[in-house]
Amino acid sequence: MVNKEIEKTDPLSSLKEFTAARIAIGRTGTSIPIKQSLEFKLAHAHARDAVYSVLDTDGLLNSMQPFNLPILHLHSKALTRHKYLKRPDLGRQLNEESAELLKDYSTNADIAFIIVDGLSATAVNENTYPLLEVLIPQLNRAGLKIAPICLVEQGRVAIGDHIGHLLNAKLTVLLIGERPGLSAADSMGAYFTYMPKPGLTDESRNCISNIRPQGLTHKPAAEKIFYLINEALKRKLSGVALKDNAGLLE
């Protein structure tokens, strides 16, 4: 009864419908209620599980067959999850076998999609197909050439620069599992880089974050990505100079 009264009088309670963050959770004595304490521990367990989740390569391959695009399975220089977490630099580099494979796929494509497990393969497994199901038909209707889709295990964001360069693509769209938080372990990010090449830094990229059913849902995310792709190709740039002004257009 006390907790219900606290929730009613807490000025933050009205914000709970807009966020999954832990606000207005009440208290029991000097601590938080048992229910909220257990929910916190469960969310922490989900976040840890997401970090160690595995890219569902077979499921992704099967789901993306309708796109009629070649799909390449690549790997970074981090051979294990333990090495990936301890050595971020290895996750930014392709291993030799993957680099050799890509030499046969210099495409001159407009766009290369690169799907990377990152810090939550769960996010990629759950959100990649619903997003691309909306986005790829839009790109096809626009007459844009799409390179082979690349699935990358144990990868970081910068690995897309090496892949895009070897594919000779004008623009990379890298989909990656974001660092799981205690309110979202299934969040995927999309990073854009115009004229990718090894050695680029973060100011050369644009990012759309929190792509998931309880965040930025797939259809609005696809529309935003489509807008930024067109702007990047038209203006021949990405990064800090490329702004998302879609909502300002009449």
The Cα–Cα gap between 195 and 173 comes to 11
Q: Is 150 annotated as a binding residue?
A: no
- Where helices occur in the chain by DSSP H, the ranges are 2-9, 34-51, 57-63, 81-86, 88-91, 96-102, 121-141, 159-167, 218-235
Question: Left, alpha or beta for 139 (phi > 0: left; psi -120 to 50: alpha)?
Answer: alpha
Asked whether 149 and 68 are in contact (CB, 8 A), the reply is no
Hey, what are 238's tokens?
């990405």
Instruction: Kindly report each contact of residues 239-246 with a partner whose C-beta sits within 8 Å and lies 24 or more positions away, as own/partner.
Output: 239/193, 239/194, 239/203, 239/204, 239/205, 239/206, 240/203, 242/192, 242/194, 242/206, 244/206
The Cα–Cα gap between 143 and 138 comes to 9
Q: Is 178 annotated as a binding residue?
A: yes
Which residues are documented as binding site?
157, 178, 207
Which residues are documented as binding site for adenosylcob(III)alamin?
157, 178, 207
